[in-house]
Structure 1
Amino acid sequence: MGRPKTFEEDEVLERAMKQFWETGYHALSVRDLEEGTGLLRGSLYAAFGDKRALFLAALERYADLSARDLEELLAEGPTPRAGIERYLRKRMKDCTGASHHRGCLLANTAAEVAPQDPEVRALVGRRYAKMAAILEATVRAAQEHGEIDPARDAKALAQHLIVLVQGMSVVGKTEPEAGLVRSAMRMALAMLDSKDPEDT
């Protein structure tokens, strides 16, 4: 019978996720992870594998939380379109608030790790696709309610908004005044109310 763990893996994973989010994958050392999680290398590796395996687990956790947050924000709106606007405004606030320098862990990973790591690239791509699918369902609901032009391509619109949010998270990291982010937000909201370009 193995020795029982003396720590909660979820809590350790949460701490590691925040460290990777704050520092990045390459800049974060195993010593940093030991200090941040309160576990020695042997315990970390026994529970999660090596640094890369721990990072993948932390990234999956972040993606799960992001998807859940997206679903909750969309559901909290009094109407489907209001839910979409609520999501966009929350993401803008994240991009311009006190923690704007962290950006989005998925976007950070897409830039830092994915180009050299096919597995990470595939993981990030799957997660983006999942978030776009969640948003697409709400776009279709808004179309059924007459809030968004039903002639618009719901899938393409949802994908566009996901890419826009990811772009805002990157730009917001380097723009203290957030002028570009706010401009992008205004364009996104205007786009929700516009007609399909093919109909004009």
Structure 2
Amino acid sequence: MPDLLEGMEISRGSFYKAFVDKRGVYLRALDVYIEDAIRKLGEILHANPSPKAAIREAFSRQVEESSGKEGLRGCFVVLSAVEMLPVDEEVSARIARLFRRLQDVYAAAIIRAQALGEIDPGLDERTLARFLVCQIQGMRVLGKTGADRDDTRAMVDFALKPLD
């Protein structure tokens, strides 16, 4: 608790007014992390006029977050899911909502790419989006084992083959 108060630069009374308890801080931190992840992905997927290239860029960034020292740190969502699910309903709901939102963002990019002729329109965008989210989460888990950057890039190339 002293580390939290010092890091947040607030008094014990202010802490309990704002968060009630340490769990409140944890849930708020998870909410912020989730919103930041959705915002960053949305920015990446809209930064390139080619949705297919934007998806590849999003995966390239995941390589950096899923390998080397960064990968060893892990992902707050993955670590929370492994530790807290399925017994913690509040955390479970947050993580399920995140995965649905990630799938929605990817599905929208896939639909744009299909309309531009970049991705086969016969592919189901929801299934493909779910597949992409699964690949990213798997990369994040492997990152905790010290995944090599080149191996992770090779996984990305393989995972994105359905987009070709």
TM-score (norm 1): 0.76
Offset from partner CA, 1:65-120 (integer Å, 9 cap, x none): 11000000001123110111111111111112542222221111111122320111
1:49 aligns with 2:17: no
Residue of 70, 78, 99 corresponding to 2:49: 78
Aligned to 1:107: 78
Shift of 1:175: 1.8
TM-score (norm 2): 0.91
Distance change >3 Å, CA 163–CA 148, structure 1 → 2: same
Write the distance in 1 (CA, Å) between the matches of 2:134 and 2:156: 12
Q: Which 5+ residue runs of structure 2 have no aligned equivalent? A: none
Aligned length: 164
Aligned to 2:158: 187
Using the aligned pairs only, state the percent identity: 37
1:90 aligns with 2:42: no
Shift of 1:41: 3.2
Shift of 1:183: 3.0
Moved over 6 A (4+): none
Write the distance in 1 (CA, Å) between the matches of 2:134 and 2:147: 21
For 1:1-200, what aligned pairs fall within 5 Å after superposition?
30-178=1-149, 180-193=151-164
Q: Which 5+ residue runs of structure 1 have no aligned equivalent? A: 1-29, 194-200
Higher relative contact order (CA 8 A, sep 6+): 2
Write the distance in 1 (CA, Å) between the matches of 2:22 and 2:31: 14
The worse-fitting range, judged by mean Cα deviation, of 142-151 and 32-41 is: 32-41
The answer (yes or no) to whether the contact 1:81–1:147 under 8 Å persists in 2 is yes
Shift of 1:180: 4.5
- The one-letter amino acid paired with 2:31 is E
Find the structure with the greater CA-based Rg: 1
The answer (yes or no) to whether the contact 2:30–2:76 under 8 Å persists in 1 is yes
- The one-letter amino acid paired with 2:63 is M
The answer (yes or no) to whether the contact 1:172–1:178 under 8 Å persists in 2 is no
